Each structure stands twice: as C-alpha cells, then as structure tokens.
Amino acid sequence: MSYLMNSSEILQTIEMIDQQHLDVRTVTMGLSLLDCADRDMQICCQRIYEKICRRAEKLVDTVSAIEREFGIPIVNKRLSVSPISLVAASCREDNYTPLALTLDRAAKAVGVNFIGGFSSLAHKGFTDSDLRLIHSLPQALTETDLVCGSVNVASTRAGINMDAVALMGRILRQTAERDPMGCAKLVVFANAVEDNPFMAGAFHGIGEPECVINVGVSGPGVVAQALKACQAQPFDVVAETIKRTAFKITRMGQLVAQEASRRLDVPFGVVDLSLAPTPAVGDSVAEILEIMGLEQCGTHGTTAALALLNDAVKKGGVMASSHVGGLSGAFIPVSEDAGMIAAVESGSLSIDKLEAMTCVCSVGLDMIAVPGDTSAETLSAILADEAAIGVVNGKTTAVRLIPAIGKTVGQRIDFGGLLGSAPVIALHPGSAAEFVARGGRIPAPLHSLKN
C-alpha cells in the first residue's frame, strides 16, 4: 500500500500525541478461567496462576513493542478474567481471598497493572458463591494491589436486587474502614457489560471467547483542542468537530487492537470508544464542557453539553472500528479529572448534578469521595438511585464511591497515579435507612406500551 505523505497530517498526529495527551488508554486481554474450577481451592488457585502466566506471558512485551514502533503511548496493559464467583462456585471455602491473592500474584508475574474480574453477577439474586465472594471483597481488595472487583446488582431485564444494594452499602463501608483505596478498585454495576476493557469494572463475560483483546481509547485533550477552534459556532459545528476527532482517535485504537491481536494470535474483541480523562492538565472532560461555553462544569447546561459530547464521540467512533463495545462514551470520574476536581472544590459541581450527568454519559458516579461518616444505608441509597437510572434508561451505570474515613466535606483524599485525588463531596443529610431495609427486588421496568 502506498502512502502519500502529507506533512500537515503527520504534524497534527504528532502534536496530538505530544501536546494533547492522545494515547491508547488500555489494551486489556480478556481470559476465561472457567476451566480452572476445582473443589479444592488450592488446586483452583494453582490452575488460575498457571493459566494466566501461560496466556498473558507475552502481553506486556508485545504491546510495549507496538507502543514503540507506532510512537503511541499505550498507558495500561491489563487483564480481565471470568467472574470469580463462577470460577470458585464449587470450592468449599467460605473466604475467597486466596483467589484474589492468586490473581494479584499472577498479574505481577506477567507485568500488567490491573486485573479485573473478582466479580459477581447478582442482579436477580445471589448464588451461595456470589455471597461468599461479596463477603470476601473487603479483605480481598485491601490485601491485594492490582485486583479489581465488581458486583452487578441490577439489569433492565431483571430489575434491581435491593438485597444486593443493601449488602453492597455495608461492604463499601467495611472496605473503606480497612483502607479507602480498596473502594477505588470496587465497582457496583447496573447492566454491566461483558467486554469492558476499563478498570475497575472489567471482567471477562460468560458470552466471551476463551481469550480476547479489547482496547480502550482516550483523548479528551484532543477533543478540547479541536473545539477551541470553533468558538461561538453553532452546536451543529461542535458535534461535527467532535465526530471527526473521535473518528481519528478511534482509528488509532483500531490499528493498535488489530496489531496486538495479530501478534498475540488472540482474536480482537472490541474497541471501547471512551473519552477517559487523566488528572493531567489539558486531559479533562470537564474542560471540554467548559469550552462549549459553560463558566464551570456543574452549572446549568452541563447535562446538555455532556449529552452532545457523549453522542458525538460514539457517532464518530463507530465508523472507525469494525467492532465497538464496552462502555463507549464519556467518562466522568471526579478524582481523575482536574476540571471536575476544581468544579467540586468551588461548589459548582454537586452530587445531584453528577447524578443527572450519569443519565446521559457512559458510566455512573465514578471515583467520588464521600464523607467518612456516611452510613452504609446512605451508600446503598446512592447505589439504588444510580441502578434505577441504568435500569430505566437501558444503559450501564457503574458506581465507585470512596468513603473517606476520618475526613469530611472540603478535605481531600489522595489515591496516586491515574486515580488522582478527590475532594470529599457533600451528601444529603436525610436518612434512607427504612427504604434500604425493605430488601427484595424492584421489578424490571416496562419497556412496551409506548403509545
């Protein structure tokens, strides 16, 4: 294939990478561990360790070589595995922490920076194994470095498992009391997706093949830069500009995905079209909303601006990739976005506005620090609100709340690295304890009789 060199295009690409933080956020290998099951947990652990080391041995080296040859930063190399509640279902032990320790050890052995899948799917009810896994979460997440967990508590077809919602409020508190960092690795889902490459919510779903490569792209800085050139232009121009930029970003992700798939001889799964911010200045989703004309993220107009952004990213990206999946949309993790942090600190962005924003973007209340004395019931009530948004709108909502033990509104909690730091946000004082204590299931919503 002959390439006609065009200097301005080449300079544009180099500028995107050097100045505007363009990167591939993650190459995530999904791996089934269902064949590692055994009644003896030690044997199960051994099989898991061996399988991960065998299948993911070359992942990091191969992806790093692609990174160097193409000159694109590929920030994270990760693994997602089958929900451990399924893999361990036949084990006799009550505590699944040894499995988490095994995942941690295997992740370190192959050099990935996170492994997701210490997970349970409990949207309609608990199996015995789901309960054992969920009760193991506080210990498992605080005694490991790289293991991420998730629990799906609701789906559009099954409704909301309010027993799971109530339990997860308590689990979040127990985890935070051990170490708030554990909560940064725990996601509570409604409508969890099976092929999400992003942490902490990645797991290898049961409809997935044996092994697969999924790629998550990023690039808020590139979108922000492109929008700076459309000042005072109508929204048609804004949407077109985002689409064009998303197309370019996604094509790069698709290229990396195909190359990784070919070199590792593992099928390509999906590209997740996501605008994932980092704490670096100029790599912020909040900044994009502000460039559209908002004085600060969180003020009136924020939800509309985010809705446009989220939709245009998908429209631009969808043509650039042969298979799109995962969460696909804009992420709004507060601690990982300098603009969001500033907006919370100035009082412009409240928990209520964040909740409204989650109705129109790809995730839920993400990486939000709440006061250390927040009760388990209040945490559960927040989870229930987010699950309701996901269930009724037929979308994924993923909640990562961090009770900042010993801290109160206005103080900050630091996580380090890509996870950033979060100001503690104010919650409503009214109790939802009686509501949460009811238990049972909130029935699935009606999606017919639309006349």
Write each residue from 8 to 37 as x if it is in contact with another protein (CB under 8 A), else as -, in one continuous string.
-xxxxxx-----------------------
Phi, psi of 184 (to 5 degrees): -70, -15
Task: CB nearer to another protein: give 1 or 446.
Answer: 1
Please list every residue from 374 through 403 that binds another protein, using CB under 8 A.
Answer: none
E strands, 205-256, in order: 211-217
Q: CB of 11: closest distance to another protein in angstroms?
A: 7
Phi, psi of 428 (to 5 degrees): -75, 140
> Applying CB under 8 A, does 6 fall inside the site for another protein?
yes
Structure tokens at 424: 């503690």
Q: Applying CB under 8 A, which of residues 72, 106, 137, 273 lies at the interface with another protein?
A: 72
Q: CB of 322: closest distance to another protein in angstroms?
A: 12
Q: CB of 16: closest distance to another protein in angstroms?
A: 9
Q: Applying CB under 8 A, which of residues 43, 50, 71, 111 lies at the interface with another protein?
A: 71
Closest C-alpha to 404, from 370, 378, 429: 370
Report strand pairing: 74-81 vs 401-404.
unpaired
Structure tokens at 94: 């009550």
> Applying CB under 8 A, does 321 fall inside the site for another protein?
no
Q: CB of 10: closest distance to another protein in angstroms?
A: 5
Return all residues near 381 (Cβ < 8 A) that are at least 6 apart.
169, 432, 435, 436
Q: CB of 259: closest distance to another protein in angstroms?
A: 8
Q: CB of 113: closest distance to another protein in angstroms?
A: 22
Please list every residue from 184 through 243 that binds another protein, using CB under 8 A.
Answer: none
Task: CB nearer to another protein: give 226 or 369.
Answer: 226
Task: CB nearer to another protein: give 196 or 321.
Answer: 321
Task: CB nearer to another protein: give 12 or 348.
Answer: 12
Task: CB nearer to another protein: give 8 or 448.
Answer: 8
As a 3-state breakdown, the chain gives helix, strand, coil percent values, each rounded to 5, of: 45, 20, 35
> Applying CB under 8 A, does 49 fall inside the site for another protein?
no
Give CA–CA dist 84/104, Å, rounded.
13
Q: CB of 254: closest distance to another protein in angstroms?
A: 7
Task: CB nearer to another protein: give 256 or 360.
Answer: 256
Task: CB nearer to another protein: give 69 or 295.
Answer: 69
Residue type, 409: V
> Applying CB under 8 A, does 313 fall inside the site for another protein?
no
Packing angle, helices 97-110 and 41-55, rounded to 10: 20
Closest C-alpha to 110, from 192, 166, 51, 45: 51
Cβ distance 362 to 324 under 8 Å?
A: no
User: Which range in 67-75, 140-148, 323-331, 392-400 contacts another protein by CB under 8 A?
Assistant: 67-75
Give CA–CA dist 107/225, Å, rounded.
36
**Strand (E) or helix (H) holding 412:** strand 412-414
> Applying CB under 8 A, does 73 fall inside the site for another protein?
no
Closest C-alpha to 27, from 56, 69, 1: 56
Phi, psi of 251 (to 5 degrees): -60, -35
Task: CB nearer to another protein: give 69 or 236.
Answer: 69
Task: CB nearer to another protein: give 5 or 446.
Answer: 5
Residue 119 gets the label, from left (phi > 0), alpha (psi -120 to 50) or beta, of beta
Which residues are near another protein by CB under 8 A? 1, 3, 5-7, 9-14, 65, 68-72, 248, 251-252, 254-255
